Structure 1
Amino acid sequence: MLVAAAALLLGGGGLAAVATTALAGNSDPEATAGHEHTTAATTISCPDVGMKLRQVPSGAKLQVSKGLATLDRQVHDAYHQWMEGGDSEVLSRLKQKRASTIGTMADAIAKNTSAQTDYLSKLATCTTKPTGVDGADSVKSTDGDGSQSQYYWQQQQDQTQDQSQDQSQDQSQDQSQAPQPGQDGGQQGQIQGGPSPEDFADITSVEPNAGNPPFAAPRGDGASTGTFTTECGRNEEGHFNSDNVIVTPGVGNGAHHTHDYVGNKATNGFSNDRKLAESDTTCNNGDQSAHYWPVLRKLDGTSLDQPGAGRDGNNGSVLTPSTVTLQFRGSQVGQVQAMPRFMKIITGDAKAFTNGTANANASWSCTGFEDRQLKDKYPICPDGSEVVRTFAFQNCWDGQNIDSANHRTHVSFSDQDGRCPDGFTAIPQLVQRITYDVPEGQGFAVDSFPEQLHKPVTDHGDFINVMPDDLMARAVNCINNGQNCN
């Protein structure tokens, strides 16, 4: 339960909401230290250029990568200005900067291919989005040319989410408690915003909505019922960075939030396939794959003046997972085939709060309650129960590409019956499960891009398959023959 009070602060044409939260019944003043915070009434919402890319030739990849990182930095800076009381001119300037950056990216693509790039020029305009729990309110914003446009936030679920629901992959709708702005440890210039009290839910009040156990291997006639589990540790070695090697290779701090890594020890923004293949690993059996996800932070008022941390509005102490389980499972309708080495998969959407839920795939729960999965809430777990994050990855492959321009279209989810889309074939489905011992009454939040306000719906996982071919063949054999291997 949360006790929350809100007031409006007006200044300089900007609008912000102040929310104060505390866990009811918590009599320990230290337990709620740092839990007073402010959240923005609106955030900045821009078209996701990376998600819209149709083709990126090899000769344009670095320029496009740098452009995507620049676009994120521009939104970061504009959001900071907005939070400091900026007015509609913030959006006008942002549009001009984005148009220039997008134009440079389009030129690089056009120079290396005959593909049309005119569609990219339409993605420069940003607007604002209300930060309410349901996002149903509309908000007027200047679209950069002086006119007023009406922005409507639409809660939508696409086929991907429907499929993951039907496969017992329901995902995060929870919880209570939040701070983040106002917790910068006295440092100046820290971005403020999120999470909000409405971003949390008591797991005991959630009705069962998933399988028991959820994310279990397929069963029944015709299914490939085996599993293959790889052991890679809990990041005991402290492998962290704020890079994004899949989306923005060749760029530092491309994620604007800190990633937690297990597996391949060389993974950073500058890792190419050769470096990954030559690297040591924390996994057993010589599995050099890279697994990573945004860190989870305890909102204890601490802040580090570093990229991906305090400089990007990610404050608090990083929580070390209690357990990390990495398991591959089969198909409901037949055998799976091997993943190609160096295949890259992203599941979930780090910008789902402003992009919408088409690619969202967050799943939050508590140990002992995993038949209750939350999509856009953090769970409040009872005493003795740990927070659980689960990522069930895409399980269908186009049979040709190890990646795609938007890092999405080369893979897909099967339908509710387990069938892949036409032209796709079943591959082992990776399920990443991470648990955390979060003290009862302690606020926490996932790292995010600043304008995403640490919303739980933005949680996501990343995977680069660097299994040796013989190990992948062993995994496929185990899965197809109904064995449970590790």
Structure 2
Amino acid sequence: MGRNTRKRRTPPVAKAIAAAAALALGGGGLLWANFHASAHEPDQRAWGGDRTKAATAQVATVSCPDVGQRLTNVPDAARQGVARELAGLDRQIAEAYARLAATRDAQAKDPGFVRNAIVGPLGEKRAATIDRIRIGIQRAGGSFDNALAQLAPCTTRSTDRTDAGGGQQNGGQQQDNGGRQGGGIGGQAGNGPVAADFVDITKVAPNVQGRPRRTANASTGTFTTRCGVNANKNHNTDNVIVAPGVTNGAHHLHDYVGNQKVDAFAGDRTFLQGGTSCENPGDLSSYYWPVVRVQDGTRDFDQNADGGGKEGNAGRILTPVQAEIKYVGSPAAKVVAMPRFLRIITGDAKTTTNGLANANAHWSCTGFENRVQLTERYPVCPQGSKVVRSFAFQSCWDGRNTDSANHRTHVAFADPASGVCPNGFKAIPQLTMRLVYAVPPPVIRNGRVQNAYAVDGFPEQLHKPATDHDDFISVTRNGLAGRIADCLNRGRNCA
């Protein structure tokens, strides 16, 4: 389907987030609004300042089951329509979150406001969307699990139940520039991060596990591809894997290296014509990830744009000082070449509500990478050390599909102890990425963070570090895929 050329209206999420952002204090200040309620039954009490009640909790975000993760069998004829409906679910959640953030006064005055004006209508919209997904799948001859209809209702989460592990967030207590204590959820745009999302890496015990022992059949080589750091600022807020044909389908900004013509409307033919930032002209693959921002009160080009400041992704965008992209072999087997147009997503952009099952990003500091890797906290690095994000993608392929309905089941991770792929899967070159940033160290005092940094994300995910993720589309020519596999299998180090 071609690009929709109709003029796009400002979506409700943009209007509501803009209203919420207007409440945020400049210079790294915090949107603070004490809304005292349980996650399911808001009560009627005043908010702000010294009226805080420690025994109650502020509603911080909207929590909805992830329908897309549960879809494992969608006929090809229905996939694009289903993808659009799933993108609609994401948009509905973002709009509901924006309304939650912009209506603290109304919530304090009306104990039923969140239920009646936000969560209830959201559930009704989701039910209608899930039913359209059912119709689309069944019309294409597929079967639909009716249990998915039970995923329509949403709840809310409070400030002490919003970290990726579901545990305490030190009460989520923050402080605004006026010195008043509040129960805000932090961040330059009012949706995180908070002090509890950071840790001094020098105080973390070593936690890096050993690698599987190599077998006689191991593929021990490496292949490095040099594609730059996105110095030309190739950005957009689309996600062609998850939301093809949907503008702003990611609701956050991506850096792109490699293929230079990737947006929501790109297809396989476009990728082959896209050009590349990689030194090897045969590497037309797309490597893309959410940007990192410093929330020091500054603004960037997208402050008033969808996916940027309008949706809570505020602050100055950092370009990596290094972006290392390397393919490595399997400790247990020879690898087969990646098929052209293989798509892989690693990590989960929605761990704040989904939990950590698919989390796969790691945060560390230069000089500490072989000792400490973090998933649920951002590191505060010592002087002279830089922040490092790293990803090790799924390295097993089902041998048939270049994608799957939930974008996960066609690939898998090898067993962490043995390095062996699951039954029915073949070892492929494992894509690894290491992104290094010169981040001004955030300062944490009295339970609050100043000059925080955070990865871009869906607004309701509160910029938690565990929501970090990475995306990849394999596009090679001139036999490059085969040469990468051969290099690994021969135990060579190639570039």
**Distance in 2 separating the partners of 1:15 and 1:111:** 50
Provide the residue aligned with 2:52 in structure 1. Answer: none
Provide the residue aligned with 2:222 in structure 1. Answer: 227
Aligned residue type for 1:105: I
Q: Summarize the alignment of residues 383-462 of structure 1 with structure 2, pairs less than 5 Å apart.
A: 383-415=383-415, 416-441=417-442, 442-462=451-471
With the length of structure 1 as denominator, give the TM-score of the two structures: 0.80
**Distance in 1 separating the partners of 2:258 and 2:488:** 21
Provide the residue aligned with 1:379 in structure 2. Answer: 379
Asked if 1:82 is matched to 2:100, the reply is yes
Provide the residue aligned with 1:166 in structure 2. Answer: none
Query: Alpha-carbon deviation of 1:403?
Result: 0.3
Asked if structure 2 preserves the Cα contact closer than 8 Å seen for 1:375 and 1:457, the reply is: yes
Query: Alpha-carbon deviation of 1:16?
Result: 11
Asked if 1:299 is matched to 2:289, the reply is no
**Does the residue aligned with 2:160 lie in a helix, a strand or coil?**
coil
Asked if structure 1 preserves the Cα contact closer than 8 Å seen for 2:60 and 2:185, the reply is: no
Distance 1:261 1:220, change over 3 A: same
Deviation digits for residues 91-149 of structure 1 (CA, Å, limit 9, x no counterpart): 1110101111111121111110231242321211111223437859xxxxxxxxxxxxx
Deviation digits for residues 441-475 of structure 1 (CA, Å, limit 9, x no counterpart): 34201111111000000000000000226111111
Query: Alpha-carbon deviation of 1:7?
Result: 8.2
Query: Alpha-carbon deviation of 1:420?
Result: 0.6
Provide the residue aligned with 2:492 in structure 1. Answer: 483
**Distance in 2 separating the partners of 1:217 and 1:178:** 46
Query: Alpha-carbon deviation of 1:9?
Result: 4.0
**Distance in 2 separating the partners of 1:15 and 1:440:** 37
Provide the residue aligned with 1:195 in structure 2. Answer: 193
Query: Alpha-carbon deviation of 1:40?
Result: 5.7
**Does the residue aligned with 2:65 lie in a helix, a strand or coil?**
coil
**Distance in 1 separating the partners of 2:246 and 2:127:** 20
Query: Alpha-carbon deviation of 1:224?
Result: 1.1
Tell me, which stretches of 5 or more residues in structure 2 are unaligned? 1-29, 50-56, 108-113, 168-172, 177-183, 443-450
Identity %: 49
Asked if structure 2 preserves the Cα contact closer than 8 Å seen for 1:218 and 1:225, the reply is: no
Asked if structure 2 preserves the Cα contact closer than 8 Å seen for 1:102 and 1:124, the reply is: yes
**Which of the numbers 239, 252, 257 marks the counterpart of 2:234?**
239
Q: Summarize the alignment of residues 254-293 of structure 1 with structure 2, pairs less than 5 Å apart.
A: 254-286=249-281, 287-293=283-289
Distance 1:403 1:60, change over 3 A: same
With the length of structure 2 as denominator, give the TM-score of the two structures: 0.79
Aligned residue type for 1:194: G
Q: Summarize the alignment of residues 2-401 of structure 1 with structure 2, pairs less than 5 Å apart.
A: 8-10=34-36, 41-83=59-101, 84-85=103-104, 86=107, 87-89=114-116, 90-132=118-160, 192-210=190-208, 219=214, 221-286=216-281, 287-303=283-299, 304-370=303-369, 371-401=371-401
**Distance in 2 separating the partners of 1:18 and 1:404:** 47
Provide the residue aligned with 1:161 in structure 2. Answer: none
Aligned residue type for 1:480: N
**Distance in 2 separating the partners of 1:328 and 1:107:** 41
Asked if structure 2 preserves the Cα contact closer than 8 Å seen for 1:8 and 1:15, the reply is: no
**Does the residue aligned with 2:34 lie in a helix, a strand or coil?**
strand
Aligned residue type for 1:422: N
**Does the residue aligned with 1:440 lie in a helix, a strand or coil?**
coil
**Distance in 2 separating the partners of 1:217 and 1:469:** 33
Distance 1:103 1:434, change over 3 A: same
Tell me, which stretches of 5 or more residues in structure 1 are unaligned? 20-38, 137-152, 156-175, 185-190
Which of 437-446 and 270-279 deviates more? 437-446
**Distance in 1 separating the partners of 2:457 and 2:84:** 19
**Does the residue aligned with 1:265 lie in a helix, a strand or coil?**
coil
**Distance in 1 separating the partners of 2:187 and 2:128:** 35
Query: Alpha-carbon deviation of 1:8?
Result: 3.3
Query: Alpha-carbon deviation of 1:439?
Result: 1.7
